[in-house]
Amino acid sequence: MSLPSKKHNLVAKLLGTDSFADAPAGRIRLILLLFIVFLLTPLFFGNIYSNYEHRAAAAIDVQQHLALITELARAEHKTLVEEAHELLFEITVSKAPASLNEADCSQLLSNTFAQGEDNFSNFGVIKPDGSLLCTSLPVVSARSASFGNERYFQEAVDSKTFSVSDFTIDKNTNVLFLTFAYPVFHEDGTLEGVAFATAKLSWLQNFIQQEAAFSQDIVMQMIEPGSGNVLLEYPENISLSTRFTLPPEVLDRASQTNQSYVFESSVLDGVDRIFFVGDLTAEEGSSVLINIGFSKASVLAHANGMFEKDMLVLVGLLLASLFAAFVATNFFVARRLFFVQEVNRLKTEFVSIVAHQLKTPITAIKWNIETLADATFGRLTKKQRTIVEDVQEIDRRLLELIDDLLRASRIDLGSVSFEPVLTSITEISDGVLKEFVAQAKEKNIRITKKYERRFPKLTVDVTAMRIVFQNLISNAIKYTPKDGEVTVTLRREGAQAIISVTDTGYGIPFDEQGHIFEKFYRASNVKGRVKGTGLGLSIVKTVLKQTGGEIRFKSEEERGTTFTVSIPLSGMKQGKDIKGA
């Protein structure tokens, strides 16, 4: 066997048939569907995995961006601290403001303020007793105010070097500011005063506005590490209490180790966000945490959009494939059906021609044998008569086979015209039973009739009904052993007239019951026991199919069989419907 045949057989077995051409359309569609699913499943899971990768990459990108923002903010803060250090050093070391009078001190600070007015709101000098000597800009109630208790003043005095205050919110203006201080000492080591500078933190406001312009979905906070209090936030209308509920472990680690952390939370404004917490600690002074968050929806929007787009493409591809499979299957089935019908037609015509050509000589043989049997040409010896009787039996079987073939061929070709008329089914049944009385007596088979009282007349074709009764009753008697029983039942069931023929015969093996209506098929348990053509049930099924009836059966091997025919009480189909069947 060649390789293509093996492949063909493999596909045919997959389709559940011995022949690929006989595979049911539904089975073919199922195989094509599974094949399409098999092809698209890797694409589907690949798309899911790709989306996972894109989402992970998007999360990493935003983390890197947030880290960059933090680094930029840290750099800006460091620049501010270095500028304050430089300006205060210039004031305290080069100018020695503590040795000046108040007017000269104010003039000096005004010149310094002119250099740093972009980032600083004021400069001043505090006396050792904590009172104010002078400032570049007037300070309300400055004369009576004591600065000796300020943290930056004490740290500058104690450390004898540059110091930075905590981030502070002005209660009057609600503005965040930061103060830097630098002590001034005499040559003998005595304190002459402390110079200070107050930063406006305008760089922070500009920084936040720039980031907000980059992404409208950003939130930012400045947080005091020790207390967790929010010093500054954007946007200002975040619904949040004074104390920020930052995860304690993040707050502690960020405060103590100067490390940056990423976490996810919706506590800030009810939106799921990715947050990045970093410390703005400069080389000197106190620190503040910056907390920046992006909405996960905006972060993952591009990845989710790509995923949805790819899924739509896959769904479209699936639908297109299913449609193509459906169309291709229909085309295949239509071609196969046309081919099968054409082959069957040619086969049926051939069988009809052959049967018709054989009938004439076999009929002639029949008459000649009958002439010999009648001793027309002289008496026959016992041996001669036996031979003649055997030939007559063979001839009878051949004629029976030819008649069945011709009948089946005419029905298959649609050349038999069925004309339904109002007819008594009981009379047809009785007439056919009379034909088999002798055959039943020969095997001592009891025939029982169970007719429903007043069983109605039906609009049926007499010839078609006789074919049905003849084949079913003939088979029942033929395949029932001696001393058996055959029962013919007529009854109504809903809108159907039911005809049942039950026997106590050999039955049909369970695994062969699916083939019983095939042409020339005979059950294995009757071969060698009973002679037959295997055409009767095929003819009955074809007749009923073309006239609107149905046939079914129940059988148990060695216990008997019941064939049940159902015909609508409204009657059989008309002749014009049959031709199109």
Task: For residue 308, tell me if it sits in a domain.
Answer: no
Percentage of the chain lying above the pLDDT 70 cut: 72
Question: Which CATH number does the domain housing residue 343 bear?
Answer: 1.10.287
My answer on whether 260 and 186 are in the same domain is yes
**Domain end point (choices 299, 317, 346):** 299
How far is residue 291's CA from residue 409's CA, in Å, rounded to a whole number? 91
Per-residue tokens: 42:
């890797």
Q: Work out the pLDDT band at 239, boundaries 50, 70, 90.
A: very low
How far is residue 404's CA from residue 394's CA, in Å, rounded to a whole number? 15
- Is there a contact between 380 and 388 (Cβ–Cβ < 8 Å)? yes
Task: For residue 208, tell me if it sits in a domain.
Answer: yes
My answer on whether 424 and 386 are in the same domain is no
Q: How many CB atoms lie within 10 A of CB 396?
A: 13
Task: For residue 338, tell me if it sits in a domain.
Answer: yes
Q: Work out the pLDDT band at 245, boundaries 50, 70, 90.
A: low
Q: Work out the pLDDT band at 216, boundaries 50, 70, 90.
A: low
Q: Work out the pLDDT band at 414, boundaries 50, 70, 90.
A: low
My answer on whether 423 and 389 are in the same domain is no
Per-residue tokens: 278:
């970093």
My answer on whether 80 and 205 are in the same domain is yes
My answer on whether 199 and 88 are in the same domain is yes
Question: Rg of the chain's alpha carbons, rounded to an integer?
Answer: 54
My answer on whether 422 and 530 are in the same domain is yes
Number of structural domains found in the chain: 3
Summarize the confidence of residues 454-471 as an average pLDDT.
Answer: 90
Q: Work out the pLDDT band at 240, boundaries 50, 70, 90.
A: very low
How far is residue 341's CA from residue 91's CA, in Å, rounded to a whole number? 111
pLDDT tens digits, one per residue of 261-318: 777 777 666 778 888 777 776 455 556 777 777 788 777 777 788 888 888 888 888 8
My answer on whether 343 and 215 are in the same domain is no
My answer on whether 407 and 449 are in the same domain is no
- The pLDDT assigned to 242 comes to 39
- The pLDDT assigned to 361 comes to 77
Backbone angles phi, psi at 520, to 5 degrees: 65, 10
Q: Work out the pLDDT band at 241, boundaries 50, 70, 90.
A: very low
My answer on whether 391 and 430 are in the same domain is no
**Which of 543, 550, 546, 537 has its CA nearest to residue 495?**
550
Task: For residue 321, tell me if it sits in a domain.
Answer: no
Question: Which CATH number does the domain housing residue 265 bear?
Answer: 3.30.450.20
Reported in sequence order, the residue ranges of 130-223 that DSSP labels E, i.e. its strands, are 132-135, 163-164, 168-169, 176-185, 191-199, 218-223
Question: Which CATH number does the domain housing residue 489 bear?
Answer: 3.30.565.10
Task: For residue 45, tell me if it sits in a domain.
Answer: no
Task: For residue 32, tell me if it sits in a domain.
Answer: no
pTM greater than the 0.85 cutoff: no
Longest dimension (CA), the chain: 174
- Is there a contact between 469 and 429 (Cβ–Cβ < 8 Å)? yes
Find the domain containing 565 and state its range. Answer: 416-579
**Domain end point (choices 299, 326, 353):** 299
**Which of 470, 473, 468, 477 has its CA nearest to residue 530?**
477
Which helix (H) or strand (E) segment holds residue 533: the answer is none
Per-residue tokens: 414:
């649609």
**Domain end point (choices 399, 415, 431):** 415
How far is residue 169's CA from residue 167's CA, in Å, rounded to a whole number? 7
Please say whether the dihedral angle defined by the alpha carbons of residues 19, 25, 30 and 32, taken in this order, is positive or negative.
positive
Per-residue tokens: 361:
């000589």
Backbone angles phi, psi at 194, to 5 degrees: -130, 120
- Is there a contact between 194 and 181 (Cβ–Cβ < 8 Å)? yes
Task: For residue 313, tell me if it sits in a domain.
Answer: no
My answer on whether 341 and 441 are in the same domain is no
Summarize the confidence of residues 330-346 as an average pLDDT.
Answer: 67
Summarize the confidence of residues 99-104 as an average pLDDT.
Answer: 69
My answer on whether 291 and 260 are in the same domain is yes
Q: Work out the pLDDT band at 480, boundaries 50, 70, 90.
A: very high
Q: Work out the pLDDT band at 567, boundaries 50, 70, 90.
A: very high
My answer on whether 83 and 135 are in the same domain is yes
Task: For residue 439, tell me if it sits in a domain.
Answer: yes
Backbone angles phi, psi at 200, to 5 degrees: -85, -15
Q: How many CB atoms lie within 10 A of CB 408?
A: 24
208: pLDDT strictly greater than 80: no
- The pLDDT assigned to 355 comes to 56
Reported in sequence order, the residue ranges of 100-151 that DSSP labels E, i.e. its strands, are 120-126, 132-135
Summarize the confidence of residues 244-260 as an average pLDDT.
Answer: 58
Q: Is residue 512 classed as helix, strand or coil in its secondary structure?
A: helix
